[in-house]
Amino acid sequence: MGINLLYPKYEVIRNFDRCIECRVCERQCANEVHSYDPELKRMVADESKCVDCQRCVALCPTRALKIVETDNTFKKNVNWKQQTIEEVYRQAESGGVLLSSMGNPQEYPVYWDKMLINASQVTNPSIDPLREPMETKVFLGKKPKNIELDEAGNVKTILEPQIELELPIMFSAMSYGSISENAHKALARAATKMGTCYNTGEGGLNKELYQYGEHTIVQVASGRFGVHPDYLMAGKAIEIKMGQGAKPGIGGHLPGRKIGEKVSQTRMIPQGSDAISPAPHHDIYSIEDLRQLIFSLKEATNYSKPVIVKIAAVHNVAAIASGIARSGADIIAIDGFRGGTGAAPTRIRDNVGIPIELALAAVDQRLREEKIRNDISIVVGGSIRSASDVVKAIALGADACYIGTAALLAIGCHLCRKCQTGKCNWGIATQREDLVKRLNPDIATKRLENLLTAWNHEIQEMMGGMGINSIEALKGNRLMLRGIGLSAKELEILQIKHAGE
């Protein structure tokens, strides 16, 4: 349709002094950027197709490649930034809603980076994790008001079902369909090896993965895909997905081309048909409806599984959380606005929701003020990027964290944010067999294990520095945090002092 006003975003810089025409780049690019020109006797590139996923760069044996952002610019305009203009062009061309994937990349404050962690000096000793036990085990679930003992002094009280984690990090919900079977396998195996949980997302659970059930959180979302009694019983816990940080108030849409045989079986929908998760659950239009779903799920699993309710961090998240805590849920999962996704409308992803740090601070404080903090555990996700983010989240009051993007990065994702195309060159966000096999679960599992092991070491180091040798003593321990460059209001919400105070 007329002139294409979009100049390619990236340039493929090929060092011909180094290029040996091995054509690995060509073979590995699902976007068909690279090709060999027999007449020129050299590699050529169609840059308009490049998404900067870095696959070719990573595999080039002579390091002859790099991908750079084009420096071709429109006339400078603070109000009309180049991206804004390009988006207008794109929409003028397609007439469609702009789609993006992974987390909100815009320049909003990252509060994790505006909080500093404490350490012991003189008046109390720091603890060396190499010499002393440094405990990171956590339990998620309702806590009893008190513990009853019999005459012999043995415990009489029967606890509500709990999730026991060896470390306060779980893999967040990513559905089979949005990510590949091999990615799922790796998450399941790593979670099992490390004594934590992964989350099926709303894609159902492949029978082959039932063996990892003790470390699986099965999700029930508005589409109810793949939900049946065995599925509910297969997991360690059930998560009701009310919302997602990347697209609060929006449903999900897995295009038919990603619904192959296996996916269709797992999701229990016809092959090739679009999988549409409605924005709301059509049986939950109010908090009391949620309560009913929670208890029907508990009934269905004879009260053997804790129920998680996952919501997006939105403006009055504290009040919503309080409602959920009173609805019978055992755990609340809050997803910040930087959370990743396989596909979301760009406008939603970039403009809806609030940062997880503020949501967490508000929710934890509110539940304590209402004296119901023990009735529910808090799990937070939505861009936990490092061990220090985890430590800060726990100090703010979280029981555990969900990591999604970080986990995908560990297995090769380069955040090119083109998941929606289904042509993931790293074999993660795709169902194309030739691409899926690029992710060898043996390697991916090990990498995930390594990531969690490394983070846990760092968490232990930081705990030791604070003179804390068990993670529960860090939970909600906000004195261990100080703000840096934060306004009085932000400090008030986070309930931390400013550095120097």
Which residues contact other proteins (rule: CB under 8 A)?
A: 17-18, 20, 22-24, 27-28, 58-59, 61-62, 64, 120, 123-125, 127, 132-133, 135, 137-139, 143-144, 146-147, 149, 152-155, 157, 159, 162, 368, 371, 373-374, 397, 433-434, 437-438, 440, 442-443, 466-470, 472-480
| Cβ neighbours, 10 Å, residue 307 | 23
In whole angstroms, how close is the CB of 310 to other proteins at the nearest point? 23
Exposed/middle/buried for 344, CB within 10 Å: 0-12, 13-18, 19+? buried
Contact 11, 68 (CB under 8 A): yes
> Smaller CB distance to other proteins: residue 76 or 145?
145
Using CA of residue 192, residue 432, residue 12, residue 77, what is the dihedral sign?
A: negative
For residues 198 and 218, give the distance between their C-alpha atoms in angstroms, rounded to a whole number.
9
> Smaller CB distance to other proteins: residue 240 or 416?
416
Q: Which of 269, 100, 270, 260 minimizes the C-alpha distance to 181?
A: 260
For residues 337 and 400, give the distance between their C-alpha atoms in angstroms, rounded to a whole number.
18
Tokens at 98, concatenated: 């702009």
In whole angstroms, how close is the CB of 241 to other proteins at the nearest point? 26
> Smaller CB distance to other proteins: residue 202 or 449?
449
Using CA of residue 460, residue 462, residue 465, residue 471, what is the dihedral sign?
A: negative
Place of tokens 């808090």: 378
> Smaller CB distance to other proteins: residue 237 or 466?
466
Buried b (16+ CB within 10 A) or exposed e, 216-251: bbbbbbbbbbbbeeebbbbbbbbbbbbbbbbbbebb
> Smaller CB distance to other proteins: residue 345 or 441?
441
In whole angstroms, how close is the CB of 307 to other proteins at the nearest point? 18
In whole angstroms, how close is the CB of 27 to other proteins at the nearest point? 5
> Smaller CB distance to other proteins: residue 168 or 243?
168
In whole angstroms, how close is the CB of 465 to other proteins at the nearest point? 10
Contact 130, 124 (CB under 8 A): no
In whole angstroms, how close is the CB of 85 to other proteins at the nearest point? 38
In whole angstroms, how close is the CB of 375 to other proteins at the nearest point? 11
Task: Calculate Rg over the CA atoms of the chain.
Answer: 24
In whole angstroms, how close is the CB of 339 to other proteins at the nearest point? 27
| Helix and strand element counts for the chain (H, E) | 15, 21
For residues 448 and 383, give the distance between their C-alpha atoms in angstroms, rounded to a whole number.
17
In whole angstroms, how close is the CB of 60 to other proteins at the nearest point? 9
Strand-pair partners of 35: 44
> Smaller CB distance to other proteins: residue 208 or 433?
433
Tokens at 187, concatenated: 């998450």
In whole angstroms, how close is the CB of 141 to other proteins at the nearest point? 8
> Smaller CB distance to other proteins: residue 160 or 230?
160
> Smaller CB distance to other proteins: residue 346 or 477?
477
Transcribe 359-426 into DSSP letters.
HHHHHHHHHHHTT-GGG-EEEEES---SHHHHHHHHHHT-SEEEESHHHHHHTT------GGGT--TT
> Smaller CB distance to other proteins: residue 64 or 419?
64
Residue type at position 311: I
User: How are the residues of the chain apportioned to helix, strand and coil, as percentages rounded to the nearest 5?
Assistant: 35, 15, 50
Contact 25, 65 (CB under 8 A): yes
For residues 48 and 32, give the distance between their C-alpha atoms in angstroms, rounded to a whole number.
10
> Smaller CB distance to other proteins: residue 160 or 283?
160
> Smaller CB distance to other proteins: residue 76 or 371?
371
Q: How far apart are the first and last CA of the chain?
A: 62
For residues 384 and 313, give the distance between their C-alpha atoms in angstroms, rounded to a whole number.
14
